[in-house]
Amino acid sequence: MTRRAERALVRRVLAGDRDAAESLVKSFQESLYAFMLRISGRPEIAEDVVQEAFVRALTNLSRYDDRFRFSTWLFTIAKRLYVNAQQRLAPAYDTDTVGAAPSRSADEVSAYHAGETSAGARSALQHAMAALSEDQREVVVLFYQLDWSVEQMSEYLDLPPGTVKSHLHRARARLRDALETSEALMAPIREIVA
Domains of the chain plus CATH, in order, are 3-89 (1.10.1740.10), 118-193 (1.10.10.10)
- What are 132-145's pLDDT values in tens digits? 888 888 888 888 88
Half-sphere exposure of 82 (CA within 13 A, CB side): 25
pLDDT value of residue 56: 94
pTM over 0.85, yes/no: no
**Model confidence at 158: pLDDT above 90:** no
Looking at per-residue confidence, does 194 or 58 come out higher?
Answer: 58
Greater confidence (2 vs 124) lies with 2
Looking at the predicted structure, is the pLDDT value of residue 127 above 90?
no
- For the chain, the farthest-separated pair of C-alpha atoms sits apart, in whole angstroms, at 65
What does the alpha-carbon distance between residue 122 and residue 102 come to, in Å, rounded to a whole number?
33
53, exposed or middle or buried, with CB in 10 Å at 0-12, 13-18, 19+? buried
Dist CA 94 CA 97 (whole Å) = 5
Do 45 and 58 meet the contact criterion of CB atoms below 8 Å apart? Answer: no
Taking residues 140-169, report their average pLDDT. Answer: 87
